[in-house]
Structure 1
Amino acid sequence: MLDLLRLFGQVVEEQSFTVVARKLGISQPAVSNQMRALEEKLGVKLLYRKGKSFALTPEGETVYRHALLLNDEWTELMREIGGSERVMNGKVHIGASHIPGEYLLPIYIASFRKLYPEIKFKLSIGDSLEMAEKVLANEVDFAVIGSVFDTEKLTSEFWLQDELGFVVSSEHTCSQKKIIDINTLKENPMIVREIGSGHRRALEEALVKRGLDLNDFNIALEVGSTEAVKNSVRAGIGYSFLSKHALEFGDSHGLVWTNVEDFYIQRGFYLLTRRNKTLTAIADEYYRYLAGQRPIQRTKFRSQRSDREVRNPS
């Protein structure tokens, strides 16, 4: 039964009977037959056709959730009875907010897989609140986000420091200024991230310290990703505040980082897990790997019109 549930989990993750069959070295009809056998054993329909693909029935969603939990428990059981020997293969499912998910984790996943090439990863990216909900629902092993969630069921561990800075298009008049008064920005169009993002929360907290609120500013555009912010600034819609990591590891062409007087936005990235939940052997190994990492050696981001370097985080 456990083997059938594992196979079912693979089918759901890959969204393809054919892909699973190819990876397992069996025929596609064999996978289909196994899925039918599982449905017969459980007495419920798990999948239904949706165009060229398929979707989970409500019962299928419930079975998939429990299949993940049972697989985790089995892996943990094998780890415990195997003493120090760990089964270092399988898949780790990581949740991440946009900055760590798009710019940092790919680098750390690549370096980790050099140590354990048999381990595969799934990376789900969304805002910090969405990823916290996925951890709570056991939909990911753990998450890396830009906000702290220390609750009855969730716990956060500090990972890396981040800094958000004022960014404009290289064609913007502010790109020539060495320092800017934040009060002069109130009437200029501003681009912000959506509610629920750690990025927006950090900006709002920094404004409160200056006795300001986002409602004091001219919000021209609200977007759901860092790349959308960058492209919107580059297009000249307005200015924004962006993470250094998004500039140093991503495309910074056409963007200029300028200092705002007495206005600093610093935040952390955190490793988020469920309290009292034991990670699988491979998820725990990767968690410990991330927790032990030093900040990545970065290349300085330079503005388009000067040699001013981005200020290092204090």
Structure 2
Amino acid sequence: MDYRDEVFMAVAENLNFSKAAEELFISQPAVTKHIKELESKLNIALFERKGNKVYLTKAGKLTYKSLKQIKQHYRDLEYELGRLHNSFEGSIRIGASSTISQYLIPSVIAVFHSRYPDIKFDLLNGNSYEMEQKLLNNEIDLALVENTSSNSNIRYKDFLDDEIVFVTGTQSVYAKRKNINLSDIQEIPVVLREKGSGTLQVIQKTLAKQNIYLEKLNILIHLGSTEAIKNFLCDFDGIALLSEKSIEKELELKRIIKLKVKELSIQRKFRIAWRQGPELRIPELFKDFLLHYNF
């Protein structure tokens, strides 16, 4: 693959020329130039514009699918060559926000370890703000965060979609309702994550768009972990807002009821964060593995 292919894949994955430019650390005109050169080489249009949005053409979708397969072949080749020279040795320090560290990343690390058994791990957890600070202080190599804010000294890449949902305990007086209105969430007692939590930040920003502010909610308590909130719900006549990824077992065992709120959806992205500057080989290897992991 040459650089034009890499530029094309960045635009195809973002469907946005300016975001691709930011990701690649080049100017937007440079991105446009590379795409035009590739289209000229292939003698076909790869993108089409509809209003302010960019879409892949049929040729673009085919090109992206093929280049993605080629990139995977390169990764497989690098892996096999690395095995010949025993070059996959070393360590990596990862910091993950609470939701990610408890419910997502352990299985990823286990699969990664089975492929690269000579790479040692240190996994720290805390809220998203704390993990970003550890990253900036060079205490960890990668941070996996769930907030929406950005630091100019840190690069970010989405790796998984998530939704924050309203839940209540099965013994709660609200369990039979199944549906609540926007006005209800300002009256019903609620338990939330602590300040600095990425979950709380996303909740705050989304509710503010509906002119609902945290100080107006009937907040009983802030707790420092998702597990604490789930245990709290057992004897609490109220609601909580939790990652859908964190309550799969409780929903299956019918310990928690998910409530629908009309006209409100709290969507977010889990993101990989790393410091600006040259990337170390092993953190880059894990980052690439995570971006292609089949959750």
TM-score range, shorter chain: 0.5 to 0.7
Q: 1:95 to 1:252 in 2, by over 3 A?
A: farther
Corresponding residue of 2:16 = none
> Counterparts of 1:224 and 1:292 in 2: how far apart (Å)?
31
Pairwise mapping of residues 58-97 of structure 1 onto structure 2 (< 5 A)? Answer: 87-97=87-97
- Give deviations 1:137-178, integer Å, cap 9, x for gaps: 110011110024533311111110000111001011221123
Q: Does 1:275 align with 2:260?
A: no
Q: Does 1:168 align with 2:161?
A: no
> Counterparts of 1:249 and 1:120 in 2: how far apart (Å)?
30
> Quick one: percent identity of the two aligned structures?
32
**In the alignment, residue 129 of structure 1 is paired with which amino acid?**
Y
What is the TM-score of this pair, normalised by structure 1?
0.64
Contact 1:159–1:268 (CA under 8 A) maintained in structure 2: yes
Unaligned runs of 5+ in 2: 1-81
How far did 1:117 drift? 1.5
> Counterparts of 1:201 and 1:224 in 2: how far apart (Å)?
14
Unaligned runs of 5+ in 1: 1-81, 297-314
Contact 1:220–1:237 (CA under 8 A) maintained in structure 2: no
> Counterparts of 2:123 and 2:205 in 1: how far apart (Å)?
28
Q: 1:287 to 1:160 in 2, by over 3 A?
A: same
> Counterparts of 2:126 and 2:240 in 1: how far apart (Å)?
19
How far did 1:188 drift? 2.2
**In the alignment, residue 260 of structure 1 is paired with which amino acid?**
V
Corresponding residue of 1:54 = none
Corresponding residue of 2:159 = 159
Larger Rg: 1
Q: Does 1:255 align with 2:256?
A: yes
- Give deviations 1:89-148, integer Å, cap 9, x for gaps: 232110000111111000100111111112221110000000000110110011110024
Contact 1:232–1:238 (CA under 8 A) maintained in structure 2: no
Number of paired residues? 212
> Counterparts of 1:250 and 1:91 in 2: how far apart (Å)?
35
Corresponding residue of 1:308 = none
Corresponding residue of 1:141 = 141
Contact 1:149–1:155 (CA under 8 A) maintained in structure 2: no
What is the TM-score of this pair, normalised by structure 2?
0.68
> Counterparts of 1:237 and 1:117 in 2: how far apart (Å)?
47
> Counterparts of 1:150 and 1:165 in 2: how far apart (Å)?
24
Contact 2:171–2:235 (CA under 8 A) maintained in structure 1: no
> Counterparts of 1:139 and 1:252 in 2: how far apart (Å)?
38
Corresponding residue of 1:123 = 123
